[in-house]
């Protein structure tokens, strides 16, 4: 089953290599989507793909970067992927 997870991380997530680390982690999984800084100081991440891969990747991001975020909002949807790869987007 293909899913799409949108996660917004709140905390000290900009200017600390958060997006770079997410890209490195994503390269180990068969997922598509993006990570980007938001103007309000948070980071948004969309991860699409096989449910298991998506949740493993999100779990690794959250574990490895736990010192930078203190809370998050998550939304999950089913459906076909919208992206061809995983990338950093700039606002």
List the chain domain ranges: 2-89
Catalytic residues: 19, 37
Please name the residues in contact with 51: beta carbons below 8 A apart, sequence gap of 6 or more: 1, 2, 3
At residue 91, the pLDDT reads: 66
pLDDT-flagged residues of the chain (< 50): none
The pTM of the whole model exceeds 0.85: yes
| CA–CA separation, 12 and 29 (whole Å) | 25
- Report the topology of domain 2-89: Alpha-Beta Plaits (3.30.70)
Run of H or E residues at 59: helix 51-64
At residue 68, the pLDDT reads: 96
Token look-up 């459906």 returns 79
């Amino acid at each position: 089953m293909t899913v799409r997870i949108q996660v917004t991380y709140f905390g000290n997530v900009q200017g600390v290599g958060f997006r770079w680390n997410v890209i490195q982690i994503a390269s180990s999984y068969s997922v598509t989507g993006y990570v980007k800084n938001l103007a309000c100081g948070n980071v948004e991440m969309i991860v699409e793909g096989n449910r298991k891969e998506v949740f493993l990747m999100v779990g690794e991001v959250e574990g490895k970067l736990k010192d930078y975020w203190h809370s998050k909002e998550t939304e999950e949807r089913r459906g076909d992927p919208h992206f061809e790869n995983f990338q950093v987007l700039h606002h």
